[in-house]
Amino acid sequence: MTWEDEIIGTDVASAGLHISECIGRDAASQLDLEEALEASRYTSHPYSSQPKEWPPVAEVLDTRELPAVLIERYNASGGEGTALCGIFPEIRRAWASVDNSLFLWRFDKRDGQCTEYSGEEQSICAAGLARVKPGIFIEAIQYILVVATPVENFGAAVGDSWPFISLNLIGLVGGVMANFGAAVGDSWPFISLNLIGLVGGVMALLLIGVCCAASADGTDPYAEISLQPLPEYTMPSDGVTMTCFACMDNGQIYVSGRDGHIYEIQYSSGSGWRKPCRKVCLTAGFGTLVSKWILPNALKFGAVDPIVDMVIDNERHVLYARTEAMKLQVFDLGVGGSSPLKKIAEERNLIDPRDLQYRGRRAGSRAIAQAKPSIVSIAPVSTMESKWLHMVAVLSDGRRLYVSTSPSSVNNASVSLTGLGNAVQRPSCLKVVATRPSPPLGVGGGLTFGAISAANRAQPEDMALKVETAFYSAGMFVLSDSSAPAVSSLLIVNRDTTTQLSHPSNLGISSRNSRALRELVSSLPVEGRMLCVTDVLPLPDTAATVHSLYSDLDAFGGLRESCEKASAGLWARGDLPTQHILPRRKIIVFSTMGLMEIVFNRPVDILRRLFESNAPKLQIEEFFNRFGSGEAAAMCLMLAAKLISDEENIISNSVSERAAETFEDPVIVGMPQLESNAVLSSVRAPAGGFSMGQVVPEAEPLFSGAHEGLCLCASRLLFPVWELPVMTFQREIGSDGRFNEGVICCRLPSSAMQVLESKIRSLEQFLRSRRNKRRGLYGSVAGRGDFTGSILYGTRSDVGANSQNEARNLFGLSSTSTVSGDAASNKRQRLLHTSAELAAIEVRAMECLRRLLRRSSEALFLLQIVYHHHVTRLVQALDSNVRQKLVHLTFNQLVCSDEGDQLAMQLISGLMEYYTGTDGRGTVDEISAKLREGCPSYFNESDYKYFLAVECLERAFMTYNAEERENLARAAFNHLTKVPESVDLRAVCKRFEDLRFYEAVVRLPLQKAQALDHQADAFNVKLDPDRRDNSLVQREQCYETVMNALRSLKGDVGKVSRSGNILDQASRDKYIRQIIQLSVQWPDTAFHEHLYRTLIELGLENELLEYGGSDLVSFLQSAGRKLQQEVQAVAAPTPITTARELETPIPSSQTKYLDLLARYYVMKRQHLQAAHVLYRLAERQCTDAADAPTLDQRRQYLSNAVLQAKSAISINGSLSSTMSTTDNGLLDMLEAKLAVLRFQMKIKEELESIAFKLEGLQVTSESHPNDPFPRGNLVFDANTAKIARGKAKELELNLKSITQLYNDYAVPFQLWEICLEMLNFANYSGDADSKIVRETWARLVDQALSSGGIAEACAVLKRVGSNLYPVDGSFIPLDALCLHLEKAALERLSSGIEVVGDEEIARSLLAACRGRPEPILSVYDQLLSNGAIVPSQNLRLRLLRSVLVVLREWVMLVLADKLGTTTTGASFMFGGTSALEQTSILQKGIRDKIVSATNRYMTEVRRLALPQSQIEPIYQGFKELEEKLLTPSSFPPY
């Protein structure tokens, strides 16, 4: 295929959009019949006829005489016998009966055969044909012939879906069927019998089987027939004369009698006592049944209105009946036709009595009564014609009444592409919606020309129509007119498809007239009288093709009958949309003189006849004017490309060539121009005036009729498949009544696709040949320069490079703008396009359509290949999602979309697997030749190489020789490297994985990614973001193949390799390392990032850190949202992380990247960088508790960061002082952060403890509003637990500063111990008198006193004081604490609340001061020396007791230090029998201090104004201590 023929995706997509619009417009132009009738009320020209120079619309194709044996038999009866006639179109037979003989012969050809049935002795008075119900008779019996006799052994009945025939039985005269009378309705199941001259006997019904046999070549399924008597299937009529019969598609038969009732004939296979057939009355009540059996018919004198006609609407499941008194009845059969018969309405007078035609003459004239017209026939209107009009009745004067069974209708409801609506309203009334005037006399046969006015034309009474019989089918009426006494004529009325208006009019009238129903009237003379008429159904092959193409469209939902009838129903759409697929319409007229075959010329046939007769150009132009240039050009294309087929008329080459010349004649089809030229005259300024500017359409290309014709032709060819799926589920109903899963199959059969493909290829080949010959506009474009240059293929900016703008330019989309005057408009038009450029744009648009047609034909060819290879088998290996996409894939998507390309490749892959399978069905070369020839856009040279590689892979997979397997895999890899863009990575790389050929698994996806994005659009920041993202997505899809291989190896525990050995852990690790090393070697940063993420996802962090590329650090930094300033090398110190950077939230999914980065730095001994990363992890901000790390994790991060900072200091100790200072600063900061974090953890634990305790309490207490720190309230406050729990969660979320911890958490929840620790850590104040510190200590002591008394307070003092006591003791207010505790102890002891020992407070103070007695004694001295502070004598005594304890402890501490023992041991030695001997060990200075203090305190004791009994023990204690210290003694040796 040359590059000129290459199918370009953007061109096909643009043309596909336009085709969709054309299909929508064409479908919308199919007006509802009601809308057309409503519009025709406002026009005076409802009828028209063709120009006399044109070939006639209807012409007699052939006349055939009656069979000789029939005439002989009738002549032999002497003209006294009973004779009937009719047509069975389903078996292509006409029939006639003479007495007891029934004759059947072909009406469509002369085969010399005439089947005769003479099974009974009685005369046949009626006959009909019906399709059998399934499962009752043998398969050979396809139809049943129902006959009626005037005695019990014969009868008449009619089956379903057969033409209504009304027969008047009159004797034969003179050897010809001169007096046969018949009135024929439409194609719906009917036979109405008016039995004249039948006297005596009882009516009976008899069924006869009809067997049909096909011809030897199978082209004629009705070549031979045979009749099989069924003697068990007879039934009496119970004295009722049956008048007409109607059947449904499901085989139900309804019969009406002259008693005015409707019966149903029920027949079955029969079992037991039940008869195989019977009739059941459906409309009679109980009283009627009793009267029927008591009184004979002869004694019933009441007026009976018999039913003479019945028709069934099988689409809506409604039955219509006409009585002898011209009453119309409607019966509802229910949804699906399975409900009991229900009478809905009955109307006696449907003719308007105010109609002037039936009134008396005007006042002053002689009144002449005119007979009221009768109803000649009734017929249902298909949903294809109207969804609001349901039935049409033809009157004897030629008028038509259109009847609806719905209470209201919706006007302006045109037919859309998606159909006429799914919901069908049930009938509820019967009313006339529209009346159509009778067609005029004297038309047709070339006698008149143009439109015919019938609205206000008064015809003479003797020239009025006198319709005897009528026939209606699919929008066509055939009327038998006997108004002329000498000869009868046929009036044929069908829709006029021309677009010519009757006369000039304003815009509103013109629009209304264009929608009005206008009909074409033709007249043909007929010898004798017309008895019945029927359609000649299309041939079975044609019917099957048409039915399969159109049956699934919503607009043709009623096509559920046989293929022949369903395809014939398409004639209701008119000739223009169907003349490319349907043959010419034919009817058979059965008259008293024989059979007459009439053919109807479609518009394309008329044009063909004009070309054949070398009609002058004026007639061709007239044809274009009447049908429109677009429609006429489309017909020229059909003739030029030979798209239509006619068995009688084959399109000659001369006709084809002249049609092509006409299609390219600019004089006839026009030239492209700017659309605003056509409306320019309507916006010009008034003569002599001034225009202030008007809104006019912007100038846009208006293409010629040739382009419009191509669009119409292409859209009508593609209409039946364009928006429908190419595949479908074929489901069957199981035993439980539900649909089974079903299998996938092609929606269309191969024969239908072949016919459509042939037509589309013919059209495309014609367009390509005209392009190659530079005919028409192609020549004008080629004249501007190189034919393959920029104008034709749109590389110039004036024809649009962008695909969307190109579509707008090519297919005429525009906007509006404001201009002022003609000059500006004309100037802008000149600037837009010249005439040559307009021609180039049209050629460009036609080229896009040609490429679309080529692509469509290739798609149909591919579907045929798939159909012949059993699509069910091909798709069974596909993924379920792919199968679902395939079922929903429309033909439009298959042709125009990327998804269609992908699914087509999936089908081709399945096809190749079928040929390269293990059972050896063939080779790739066999099927590749067909695909490359028939659908090169779906299967090209690259696909061929791809499947050669697939074949090598299949062979490699089947061999067990390791070397051969390696060579075959290498060969497949070499094939695929030449066409990487065509590789199906999912399937191919899976094969390479099975073969353990991981070089291909890595390289092929990367090569395909590079081929798909060869310009590196994914990394070009200057491109459009959507385009860049699309390129990146394509790359990532390729990358994912390599990642899946890694996932497979990571999870393939115990998997068996191709060699049959189990793939152990060592082998899997080896292959994983091989993939990583091959991947890192490929220079693709985006792929590396994808690889690194997958390795982290699979837990292969060690392999990542070991084999990662040079870009691993940058990846981890960017993925983990590293600092804006990257961590530098050791020679360039990194500044400490800023607060703004730390406030940036890091999702938990990205934390792992920072973890890995820290591990990488540690591995590379870059400790400073590792410390920064760990610090960032510890400080990461979170908004969700689920994403936040625990405080323990944060502590671990900070601890590790401290270790790394210390390592950095130890390594960098020999470097510059600047770097050492920086490292020390980082270490100090990290240690401080770690300390604050410990405070936060302690506060969190305390809050959780508080919440736990409060949640367990069941009592409440009133709060103390005056307490500024209501610790007591917290215990009993019901909300405190909730608040504490919430605060604890807040602390878990993010790290807090020490200020936040103190003010927002510790103080509100009275965590005074932690407050003191934080104040001490922050060096809040070096002044012991600090108010904050003193108040905090006081609250801590009070809190302890309230919870556990003096013992608890002393314990808290020991614990907290020992932790917070500085060297100078300035942070602990010992004086305040000592006084506070001593007072509390005295109060509690005095009140008996608590027993407090003399040593508790003193020992706690010593513990708080870490065993230093001097500060304690100094505090006691200060307190005792100030009488204002300690005015109470008891309190002073309490203080002196504590002083005595301190002094004793001091001695014990000194002894313990000297003796190397504990204070307990020292106390034992000091207080034992040799205690005096140990005093010599004390240093002289310390002993003197203690003795001096003892003397002083003894004096203080004596000064106390207390009873001697209270002070004496204290005094003796001091005295004993003094004596022990002053007694001289040497320390004994030990």
Render pLDDT for 268-306 as a digit per residue (tens, 0 to 9): 887 767 788 888 888 886 555 555 555 555 455 557 888
Q: Which of 620, 657, 807 is nearest to 16 (CA)?
A: 807
How many residues does the structure list for the chain? 1534
CA neighbours within 13 Å on the CB side: how many for 337?
A: 16
Cα 805 from Cα 789, distance rounded (Å): 20
Cα 996 from Cα 122, distance rounded (Å): 89
DSSP 1533: P
pLDDT at site 462: 56
Q: How many angstroms separate the most distant Cα atoms in the chain?
A: 181
Cα 391 from Cα 382, distance rounded (Å): 8
Q: Which of 1171, 1162, 1294, 1291 is nearest to 1228 (CA)?
A: 1171
Render pLDDT for 186-227 as a digit per residue (tens, 0 to 9): 333 333 333 333 334 456 778 888 998 888 887 788 888 998
Cα 482 from Cα 1418, distance rounded (Å): 148
Cα 724 from Cα 843, distance rounded (Å): 29
Of these ranges, 100-104, 200-204, 740-744, 1208-1212, the one predicted with the greatest mean pLDDT is: 100-104
Of these ranges, 388-392, 557-561, 1213-1217, 1528-1532, the one predicted with the greatest mean pLDDT is: 388-392
pLDDT at site 177: 36
pLDDT at site 1325: 57
Render pLDDT for 119-148 as a digit per residue (tens, 0 to 9): 777 778 778 788 888 888 888 888 888 887
Of these ranges, 81-90, 1007-1016, 1336-1345, the one predicted with the greatest mean pLDDT is: 1007-1016
Whether residue 1198 contacts residue 1241, with contact meaning beta carbons closer than 8 Å, is answered with no
For residue 950, pLDDT over 90 is answered with no
For residue 1403, pLDDT over 60 is answered with yes
Give residue 776's pLDDT band: very low, low, confident or very high (50, 70, 90): confident
Return mean pLDDT, the chain: 76
pLDDT at site 1345: 84
Residue range 1121-1126: average pLDDT? 42
DSSP 1427: T
Render pLDDT for 541-569 as a digit per residue (tens, 0 to 9): 888 888 888 887 765 554 556 667 777 77
% of the chain beyond a pLDDT of 70: 75
% of the chain beyond a pLDDT of 90: 16
pLDDT at site 513: 61
Q: What's the Cα-to-Cα distance from 971 to each of 600, 975, 993, 1042, rounded to whole Å? A: 65, 6, 15, 20
Give residue 658's pLDDT band: very low, low, confident or very high (50, 70, 90): very high
**DSSP letters of 505-548?**
--HHHHHHHHHS--EEEEEEEESS-EEEEEE-PPPHHHHHHHHH
Of these ranges, 415-429, 630-644, 876-890, the one predicted with the greatest mean pLDDT is: 630-644
Alpha helical stretches, state H, 551-586: 563-569
DSSP 108: S
Whether residue 666 contacts residue 704, with contact meaning beta carbons closer than 8 Å, is answered with yes
By CB neighbour count within 10 A (0-12 exposed, 13-18 middle, 19+ buried), where does 77 fall?
Answer: middle
Q: Provide the 10 A C-beta neighbour count for residue 382.
A: 27
pLDDT at site 422: 44
Give residue 2's pLDDT band: very low, low, confident or very high (50, 70, 90): very low
Residue range 460-477: average pLDDT? 81
Q: Which of 176, 177, 180 is nearest to 196 (CA)?
A: 180
Cα 182 from Cα 1292, distance rounded (Å): 99
Give 790's contacts (C-beta < 8 A, 6+ positions apart): 796, 799
Least confident of 821-835, 1220-1234, 1367-1381: 821-835
For residue 115, pLDDT over 70 is answered with yes
pLDDT at site 1074: 92
Q: Which of 97, 164, 159 is nearest to 124 (CA)?
A: 97
pLDDT at site 869: 84
Least confident of 441-445, 607-611, 1110-1114, 1251-1255: 441-445
Give residue 829's pLDDT band: very low, low, confident or very high (50, 70, 90): very low
Residue range 1452-1480: average pLDDT? 55
- Long-range pairs, 323-330, Cβ under 8 A, ≥24: 323/260, 326/374, 326/375, 328/375, 328/378, 328/393, 328/403, 328/430, 329/430, 330/405, 330/427, 330/430
pLDDT at site 782: 63
Cα 135 from Cα 121, distance rounded (Å): 31
Cα 32 from Cα 413, distance rounded (Å): 6
Of residues 687 and 529, the one with the higher pLDDT is 529
For residue 364, pLDDT over 50 is answered with no
Residue at token pair 């525009």 = 814
Give 424's contacts (C-beta < 8 A, 6+ positions apart): 315, 316, 335, 383
Whether residue 255 contacts residue 279, with contact meaning beta carbons closer than 8 Å, is answered with yes
Whether residue 382 contacts residue 474, with contact meaning beta carbons closer than 8 Å, is answered with yes
For residue 734, pLDDT over 80 is answered with no
By CB neighbour count within 10 A (0-12 exposed, 13-18 middle, 19+ buried), where does 807 fall?
Answer: buried
Residue range 494-503: average pLDDT? 68
Q: Provide the 10 A C-beta neighbour count for residue 1197.
A: 26
Tokens representing 780 are 């004008």
Q: What's the Cα-to-Cα distance from 699 to each of 846, 1275, 1409, 1511, 1522, rounded to whole Å? A: 20, 85, 101, 123, 125
Render pLDDT for 1143-1164 as a digit per residue (tens, 0 to 9): 566 777 778 888 888 888 888 8
Of residues 1184 and 1258, the one with the higher pLDDT is 1184
The H-or-E segment that residue 377 falls in is: strand 375-380
The H-or-E segment that residue 1131 falls in is: none
Of residues 517 and 1481, the one with the higher pLDDT is 517
φ, ψ of residue 231 to 5 degrees: the values are: -65, -25
**DSSP letters of 863-930?**
HHHHHHT-HHHHHTTS-HHHHHHHHH-BHHHHHH-HHHHHHHHHHHHHHHHHHSSTT----HHHHHHH
Residue range 1121-1138: average pLDDT? 41
Residue range 1282-1311: average pLDDT? 87
CA angle 975, 979, 980 (to 5 degrees): 105
pLDDT at site 766: 93
Residue at token pair 């090569």 = 1007
Render pLDDT for 1488-1516 as a digit per residue (tens, 0 to 9): 888 888 888 888 888 888 888 888 888 88
**Given strand 342-347, what is the order of strands in its sheet?**
307-313, 318-323, 328-332, 342-347
Render pLDDT for 1191-1207 as a digit per residue (tens, 0 to 9): 888 889 899 988 988 88
By CB neighbour count within 10 A (0-12 exposed, 13-18 middle, 19+ buried), where does 858 fall?
Answer: buried
Least confident of 433-442, 543-552, 685-694, 1123-1132: 1123-1132
Q: Which of 671, 715, 712, 696 is nearest to 833 (CA)?
A: 671
Give residue 761's pLDDT band: very low, low, confident or very high (50, 70, 90): very high
For residue 453, pLDDT over 90 is answered with no
Whether residue 65 contacts residue 74, with contact meaning beta carbons closer than 8 Å, is answered with no
Identify each DSSP E strand in 113-261 by its residue range.
Answer: 115-117, 126-131, 141-149, 163-168, 181-189, 191-194, 204-213, 224-236, 242-247, 253-257
For residue 1133, pLDDT over 80 is answered with no
For residue 1478, pLDDT over 50 is answered with no
Cα 196 from Cα 1452, distance rounded (Å): 151
Tokens representing 1066 are 């060592």
Of residues 1045 and 457, the one with the higher pLDDT is 1045
Cα 1197 from Cα 1171, distance rounded (Å): 9
Render pLDDT for 909-947 as a digit per residue (tens, 0 to 9): 888 877 776 555 567 777 888 888 899 888 877 878 888
Give residue 1527's pLDDT band: very low, low, confident or very high (50, 70, 90): confident
Give 1334's contacts (C-beta < 8 A, 6+ positions apart): 1373, 1376
Whether residue 1413 contacts residue 1450, with contact meaning beta carbons closer than 8 Å, is answered with yes
For residue 754, pLDDT over 50 is answered with yes
Render pLDDT for 230-257 as a digit per residue (tens, 0 to 9): 888 888 877 777 778 788 877 788 888 8
The H-or-E segment that residue 1518 falls in is: helix 1508-1526
Q: Provide the 10 A C-beta neighbour count for residue 933.
A: 11
- Full-model pTM: 0.66
For residue 1268, pLDDT over 50 is answered with no
Give 120's contacts (C-beta < 8 A, 6+ positions apart): 100, 149, 153, 154, 206
For residue 695, pLDDT over 60 is answered with no
